Amino acid sequence: MFTSEKTDLQLFSVTSASDLRSILERLWTNQLATPELCSWMRAVLGQQLFRHRLASGFDYDGVEVAGKTGTWGPYRHEAGAVTHPGELR
């Protein structure tokens, strides 16, 4: 549980929005791992249960939304990728 006391951040998975963007960009352009593994990871992110907030902004036919949510105490964030049909990843 989150408290206002000093917390050892080494016990948590913490990153910045910039790092998340970089990781997702490398994943969607097959630079993070092999193309097969990147494809699998994109498919897993596309099956996340709680991606509705990102998807609600892109209510178009054929648009795919893949995302990941995170919670640390009272803080919540989401990161994701939106793929439009006919456009490059």
Alpha helices in the chain (DSSP H): 17-28, 35-46, 52-55
In a domain, 65, yes or no: yes
Q: Which domain holds residue 23?
A: 17-83
pTM score of the predicted model: 0.70
In a domain, 7, yes or no: no
How many domains would you assign to the chain? 1
In a domain, 1, yes or no: no
In a domain, 22, yes or no: yes
The tokens describing 71, both together, are: 């919670």
The tens place of each residue's pLDDT in the chain, 89 residues long, gives 445 556 666 666 667 788 888 999 999 999 999 999 999 999 998 888 776 777 788 877 888 888 888 777 777 778 888 888 888 76
In a domain, 43, yes or no: yes
In a domain, 10, yes or no: no
| Long-range contacts formed by 45-48: CB under 8 A, 24+ apart | 45/80, 45/81
